[in-house]
Structure 1
Amino acid sequence: MTAAALDYPGDLLGFADDLTDAERDKLALLRAYLDEHVRPVLVDRWERGENLADFRAPLAALHLLDDPDLLDGNGALRPLYRGYVTLELCRLDLAMSITYGGQVGMFRTLVHAGGSPEQIAAWDPGILDFSFTGCFALSEPDHGSDVAGGLETTARRDGADWVIDGAKRWIGNATISDNIVVVAREDGSERVLAFVVPADAPGLHREVIAHKGAARLVHNADITLQGVRVGEDRRLPRIESFRDINRAFRELRATIVWAAAGMQLGAYRAAADYAQERRQFGRPIAGFQLIQDKLVRITANIAQTLALAVRTTTHPLQDDVTPSLLKLIAADRLRESAALAREIMGGNGILLTGDAMRFFADAEAMYTFEGTREMNTLIVGRALTGLGAFTR
């Protein structure tokens, strides 16, 4: 596939035109790999609930994030390009983005934002080539959106080590990672600490959450920690509060908008292809006004979501309110687009082989994680009125 073959319906303002030739070539390489190697197995794996861990090494070999031709003078990638990488992964499937991005995005960001120079130097090469894998464990069985005020997992100092006790829930990639960044409250204080805990540490148990109806290709897990011992060298020293965790993830919060744009592109592709091929009353259904109206509405939703995503690359998020509004808008647009794509395909739309149903189900997961719509509404509402409605 050549760079010219990349198409982005809904990119009305030509945002992709601002990608460099090297960036477009890399994105074309990524799309070609996903379409040739991953797309053919998605349906069977979805039905069996199998993860995509075996594709991590081949994706790392594409050097999506560390190709010298993509780096600027400071050795950094342009945010616009990173956004389109997420978009391409989600255009295939949300799980592919979580499987890859949870490692080189979330886990790597935590290490860079919270780790010491020595930790970063020791771990970063392995993070990029997936020889040092990790995930992030924050939410708990009884604390999701309110975990900042209800964190029950504790860490206490015992000589040269820390001893961690508690439980975590809904932790993506936990069973395919060698390390788990566990967030815990220091016993007897208000400090919130983060530890890179080896997944095979004695006292740590992981169990895949079964019977999911969305994001089935991601293995979320329940984790229990009973007297798990880790050395001080495994603590991320620059994380001592939720403020530090928010600082670490501020640059990643726009990722969910890119993901929503990519998922809508995937749903649009499925619906548009079907509409051209499916014939009713003697002609393709793409020629009917009712179908065209739905395709236009999906494209309009993509345009809005993509515009918001690109804006974050030039105006990085600096507060904790804007991300909530962005996520709320993006999730609403995604949910509508996925439903419209499914509608276009009629009864066939509920078949996994048509792709739209995967995006329809995963839209529900996106609608809830990274903060439920209701929680994000409360955050924005408090900012608008100055009155918190979290409690009565």
Structure 2
Amino acid sequence: MGIFKNLRQAFHLFQEMDLGQIIELNKKVDLSAAMKELSKLDEKQMQGLLKMLNSSQTKKELPEINPDFYELSDKLTLEQQALQLKVRNFMEEEVNPIVNDYWLRDEFPYELIPKMGELGLAGVTYDGYGCPNLPFLMEGILAMEMARVDASIATFFGVQSGLTMGSIYMCGSEDQKQEWLPAMNKMQKIGAFGLTEPEVGSGAAGGLTTTCKLTADGWVLNGQKKWIGNATFADVVVIWAKDEADGEVKGFLVRKENPGFQVEKIKGKMALRIVQNGLITLTNCVVEEKDRLPLANSFKNTANVLRMTRAGVAWMAVGCARGAYENALVYTQNRKQFGKPIASFQLIQNHLVEMISNLTAMQTLVFRLSELQDLGQLKDEHASLAKVFCTLRTRDIVRGAREVMGGNGILLEHNVARFVADAEAIYSYEGTKEINTLIVGRSITGFSAFV
């Protein structure tokens, strides 16, 4: 083997060396011995040697990066595939070049809003009002594509398109729909969704402390809402409050100019730093009757909105995991240690296979989840199971992506550190792992273990 190694080295060097350099090389490599061994080869052995030498000069052809290992995208129509590609191109061309800078500065790229509006995709599944009226499956696909590049932008879109527009679409009057939905589809108006409170997260179903009271001047709202995405620049915020008269939860469209409405930006976040979360304080905030959502008269109506959008959060988890996996795979194919790409090492391949296994299971699950939603068969426990499983597995995948990058994994420039941090926020919002687990547990056992 030693003589063939020397021969191979000599062969490569000969191609670019003059006679003097070859003489110098002979002092280091036993060319006579190499030629003597070469002369002993028969025709078949010589052909094998030439093949080996030629292959060593040819750059290895690597397989295409394909996170969709089971080719689920083949189930989409050509039009749906084209829309998926359109959103992917937008995220890669408009968002990817700037996202790390904005994430680091804890700021939002407002210049993207009109560009996103030109896509016309907000209110993905709604019929009328300028909305696309696409299947729920496509809503999930688009959420995944956005989160594949940045979970913050996907969250911004989800709050706008799902939670806020969804509340108006499902619980609003025709006048409210006409006023807000077309403008929100084009991103000319921005919305936010105010449910969570400083001391009330998982217990929102029965424990809201924000109150509403009907007076001669309209509805008077008092209380606070926390972690409200888009709140610092939203034109309208859907506020859920408990009616002092009957104890039921009601919904209101609170405009940013309403007296008694104040927003403070939440700072110091380690995740979803581009999302502008706000602490909203309502102090005798008067809302006219025309801005009350007439079909929002109990928490069941709130829950319907959450059920509709929770599937999208599971898809976002898939997108976050997919982005981390893709970046990690490309990195390992190009990062060299001990003279060759680290993707050629067994332990690295083990990490990558675990990642693509989890990712494939997640994608298969959410694909079926959206199919159930399109069939009108989606239940709370279906969405909750997807939220639990996908956010847990996303944690595993981003951890593996960071690990195969070694120390470089903590640098934003390698596009995995951001996914590692953002996965923690996706893990918690729209129902913690524990709450969603109990929803599924109640379904399969028949016993409620919430209290």
Query: TM-score per shorter chain, which class?
Result: over 0.9
- 1:376 matched residue in structure 2: 436
TM-score w.r.t. length of structure 1: 0.92
- 2:183 matched residue in structure 1: 126
Contact 1:205 1:225 in 2 (8 A): yes
Contact 1:156 1:186 in 2 (8 A): yes
Counterparts of 2:384 and 2:83, CA distance in 1: 31
Compare 141-150 and 310-319 and name the one that shifted more: 310-319
Counterparts of 1:10 and 1:348, CA distance in 2: 22
Cα drift, residue 8 of structure 1: 7.7
- 1:49 matched residue in structure 2: 106
2:120 partner letter: H
Counterparts of 1:21 and 1:350, CA distance in 2: 38
- 1:315 matched residue in structure 2: 372
Counterparts of 1:279 and 1:122, CA distance in 2: 57
Structure 1 SS opposite 2:232? helix
Q: 1:284 aligns with which of 319, 323, 341?
A: 341
Counterparts of 2:83 and 2:379, CA distance in 1: 32
Q: Does 1:225 align with 2:285?
A: no
- State how 1:237-316 maps to structure 2 within 5 Å: 237-316=294-373
**Structure 1 pair 65/222, CA: closer, same or farther in 2 (3 Å)?**
closer
Counterparts of 2:298 and 2:416, CA distance in 1: 41
Q: 2:266 aligns with which of 203, 209, 212?
A: 209
Query: How far does the alpha carbon of each residue in 1:305-332 deviate from its partner, in whole angstroms, 9 at most, with x for none?
Result: 1111111222125332222222110111
Counterparts of 1:130 and 1:335, CA distance in 2: 32
- 2:58 matched residue in structure 1: none
2:102 partner letter: R
Query: How far does the alpha carbon of each residue in 1:155-195 deviate from its partner, in whole angstroms, 9 at most, with x for none?
Result: 11111511100000111110121111000011121221100
RMSD: 2.0
- 2:250 matched residue in structure 1: 193
- Detail structure 1 runs of 4+ shifted over 6 Å in the superposition: none
Query: How far does the alpha carbon of each residue in 1:35-58 deviate from its partner, in whole angstroms, 9 at most, with x for none?
Result: 122111112111111113331210
1:340 partner letter: G
Counterparts of 2:352 and 2:84, CA distance in 1: 25
**Structure 1 pair 135/206, CA: closer, same or farther in 2 (3 Å)?**
same
**Structure 1 pair 373/250, CA: closer, same or farther in 2 (3 Å)?**
closer
Unpaired runs of at least 5, structure 2: 1-63
Cα drift, residue 385 of structure 1: 3.2
Structure 2 SS opposite 1:254? helix
Contact 2:117 2:188 in 1 (8 A): no
Compare 15-24 and 226-235 and name the one that shifted more: 15-24
Q: 1:324 aligns with which of 348, 365, 384?
A: 384
1:117 partner letter: E
- 2:398 matched residue in structure 1: 338
- 2:409 matched residue in structure 1: 349
Contact 1:84 1:258 in 2 (8 A): yes
Counterparts of 1:105 and 1:14, CA distance in 2: 27
Cα drift, residue 219 of structure 1: 1.1
**Structure 1 pair 8/347, CA: closer, same or farther in 2 (3 Å)?**
closer
**Structure 1 pair 372/231, CA: closer, same or farther in 2 (3 Å)?**
same
Structure 2 SS opposite 1:175? coil
Contact 1:95 1:217 in 2 (8 A): yes
Q: Does 1:27 align with 2:84?
A: yes
2:188 partner letter: S
2:284 partner letter: G
Cα drift, residue 137 of structure 1: 0.2
Q: Which has the larger radius of gyration?
A: 2
- 2:170 matched residue in structure 1: 113
Identity fraction in percent: 38
TM-score w.r.t. length of structure 2: 0.81
**Structure 1 pair 312/378, CA: closer, same or farther in 2 (3 Å)?**
closer
- 2:204 matched residue in structure 1: 147
